């Protein structure tokens, strides 16, 4: 395994994902990327052009902002707390739609495996809120390993 992409959302399963990735990529040529994706900050509500008597739906304009220092520091702390690793361990914080950004990184950086956590939400939650893991599994061009959160 040469390049493993670990998606980090700072949940309880994040450290466990790094451990699993390190077990799979133990050669000096291996590279593990810890990726945290920030959703776009939401901009002001901008009404569309309207005719008198018509109430338009508001349109949210995404505003790109630089990665927040707190997120970069948290990702660095996860990296610093990881077990010694013979390969390269790097951190990346990007902003954009979560699923699309993960898939884009996987494609453009020639990732061999994506490691993600499962939070154990039920079917109703996934139906209403959506599932990043499901979206990545459907669109990934490489294998996706889903690591369950630890049972309580």
pLDDT tens, position by position, for the chain (152 residues)?
A: 689 999 998 888 889 999 999 999 878 889 999 999 987 655 444 444 445 555 555 555 555 556 678 889 999 999 999 988 888 999 999 988 899 999 999 999 999 999 998 866 666 555 544 588 889 999 999 999 998 877 54
- Domain-by-domain residue ranges, the chain? 3-148
Tell me the C-alpha distance between 20 and 27, whole Å.
14
**CA dihedral (81, 111, 139, 37) positive or negative:** positive
Among 93, 94, 96, CA closest to 40: 96
SS in 3 state form for 56-109?
CCEEEEEECCCCCHHHHHHHHHHHHCCCCCCCEEEEEEEECCHHHHHHHHHHHC
143 in Cβ contact with 114 (< 8 Å): yes
pLDDT at 76: 93
Tell me the C-alpha distance between 124 and 27, whole Å.
41
**What CATH number was assigned to the domain covering residues 3-148?**
3.40.50.620
The answer to pTM > 0.85 is no
- Within its chain, how far is the Cα of 138 from the centroid? 15
Beta partners for residue 21, in sequence order: none
């Amino acid at each position: 395994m040469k390049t493993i992409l670990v998606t980090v959302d700072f949940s309880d399963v994040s450290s466990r994902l790094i451990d699993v990735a390190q077990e799979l990529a133990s050669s000096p040529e291996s590279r593990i990327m810890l990726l945290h994706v920030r959703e776009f900050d939401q901009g002001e509500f901008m009404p569309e052009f309207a005719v008198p008597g018509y109430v338009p739906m508001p349109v949210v304009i995404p505003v790109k902002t630089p990665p927040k220092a707190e997120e970069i520091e948290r990702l660095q702390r996860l990296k610093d707390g990881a077990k010694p690793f013979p390969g390269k361990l790097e951190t990346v914080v990007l902003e954009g739609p979560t699923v699309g950004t993960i898939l884009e990184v996987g494609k453009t950086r020639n990732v061999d495996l994506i490691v993600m956590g499962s939070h154990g939400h039920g079917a109703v939650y996934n139906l209403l809120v959506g599932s990043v893991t499901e979206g990545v599994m459907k669109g990934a061009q490489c294998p996706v390993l889903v690591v369950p959160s630890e049972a309580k």
